[in-house]
Amino acid sequence: MPTGASCPLCGRFSPRSFGNVIIWLLEQCYYSTNYCSSMVRTYRKRTKRGSYGSDRLALALRAVREGVPVKRAGLQFGIPPRTLRRHRYGKVRIPGSVKLGRLRTALPEEFEVELRNYVKFMEKSMYGLTTQDVRRLAFELAAL
């Protein structure tokens, strides 16, 4: 078993002495992207699926209805032709709209904006909310 300490966040071992553990944690864990990267809560989309948006999809579908071939409309608007065909034949739940995933939001957009602004206001007022507080507020907004 090696002597020293490991990071309490990521578990990586520090080869330095125990006295330098705090310095090591500050240098490696909090300022480096190589360590403790699994603790980050920001989501970064990894694919480009649905990046064309609903408005361009609607324009492409209108062009297809007016007689433009599906393949040409797909190249012109940057949408895969197979997607245009699915929307043209109604094989999706809501043709002409881009929705990734099977889950729907519980709150309307205006409630989400209101909740986000309230959380930011409370943070500026030096009264940070926990995730449980935010969930409770969201549940109260959804119940209205």
User: Mind listing the pLDDT tens digit for each residue in 2-48?
Assistant: 455 555 555 555 444 444 444 444 455 444 444 444 555 787 878 88
* pLDDT at residue 77, as a whole number: 93
How far is the C-alpha of 49 from the C-alpha of 79, rounded, in Å? Answer: 10
Does residue 112 register a pLDDT over 80?
yes
Lowest-pLDDT range of 26-30, 71-75, 113-117, 124-128: 26-30
Length of the chain (residues): 144
What are the structural domain ranges in the chain?
Answer: 5-39, 47-101, 109-143
Does residue 128 register a pLDDT over 90?
no
How far is the C-alpha of 5 from the C-alpha of 25, rounded, in Å? Answer: 10
Ramachandran sector of residue 36 (left: φ over 0; alpha: ψ -120 to 50; beta: rest): left
Reduced to 3 states (helix: H, G, I; strand: E, B; else coil), residue 103 is: coil
Does residue 110 register a pLDDT over 60?
yes
Q: How does pLDDT run across 58-90, given as a tens digit for each residue?
A: 999 999 999 999 999 999 999 999 999 999 998
Does residue 1 register a pLDDT over 50?
no
Does residue 91 register a pLDDT over 90?
no
